[in-house]
């Protein structure tokens, strides 16, 4: 078994198992590894994550987010709809918060490539600053 050296550790009030089950339901390559009343360990796309029932002292915020690299608009739409559904909140530039308060960036895989062309980068930035959910066609046409 390959040991992951660095593992994201998410602090929840008391919804660690519920949050982990939700995330596992959203991602096709995901599973619960273990769960007890204090900690749930799960895996999303090969990344192991720990979720802690730590109580109300700390809250998740935008200082930490997961980024999802999407190959096409269908993937962007899927993750956006799943993660904003049932109480999630849209933000700007491909960012959102899910119903547990965890921040996500749902971005096209080709965004870096679009931004690497100096003459195009400003147009791409101007385009995505106007967006909530990323629109690949609009970014490509910028």
Q: Which of 10, 43, 58 delimits the end of a domain?
A: 58
Are 38 and 86 part of one and the same domain? no
Would you state the pLDDT for residue 117?
A: 83
Are 54 and 81 part of one and the same domain? no
Are 76 and 122 part of one and the same domain? yes
Q: DSSP letters of 71-101?
A: SSHHHHHHHHHHHHTTT-EE-STTEEE-TTS
Are 109 and 131 part of one and the same domain? yes
Are 65 and 134 part of one and the same domain? yes
Whichever domain contains 24, its CATH number is 3.10.180.10
Determine the structural domain holding residue 116 and report its residue range. 60-142
Provide the token pair at 73. 């608009």
The span from the CA of 140 to the CA of 61, in Å, is 30
Query: CA torsion sign, 106 to 108 to 112 to 117?
Result: negative
Would you state the pLDDT for residue 1?
A: 57
pLDDT tens digit sequence for 21-38: 999 999 999 999 999 999
CB 32, CB 70: distance < 8 Å: no
Would you state the pLDDT for residue 118?
A: 83
Q: How confident is the model at residue 15 (pLDDT cuts 50, 70, 90)?
A: very high
The span from the CA of 89 to the CA of 101, in Å, is 9
Are 66 and 116 part of one and the same domain? yes
Q: How confident is the model at residue 3 (pLDDT cuts 50, 70, 90)?
A: confident
What is the arithmetic mean of pLDDT over 30-48? 97
What is the arithmetic mean of pLDDT over 32-49? 97
């Amino acid at each position: 078994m390959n040991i992951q050296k660095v593992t994201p550790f998410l602090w929840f009030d008391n919804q660690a198992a519920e949050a982990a089950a939700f995330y596992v339901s959203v991602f096709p390559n995901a599973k619960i590894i273990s769960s007890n009343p204090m900690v749930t360990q799960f895996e999303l796309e090969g990344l192991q994550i720990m979720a802690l029932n730590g109580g109300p002292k700390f809250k998740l915020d935008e200082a930490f987010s997961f980024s999802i690299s999407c190959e096409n608009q269908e993937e962007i739409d899927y993750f956006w709809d799943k993660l904003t559904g049932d109480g999630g909140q849209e933000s700007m530039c491909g960012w959102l918060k899910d119903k547990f308060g965890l921040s996500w960036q749902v971005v096209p895989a080709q965004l870096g490539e679009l931004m690497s062309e100096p003459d195009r980068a400003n147009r791409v930035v101007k385009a995505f600053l106007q967006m909530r959910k990323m629109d690949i066609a609009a970014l490509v046409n910028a």
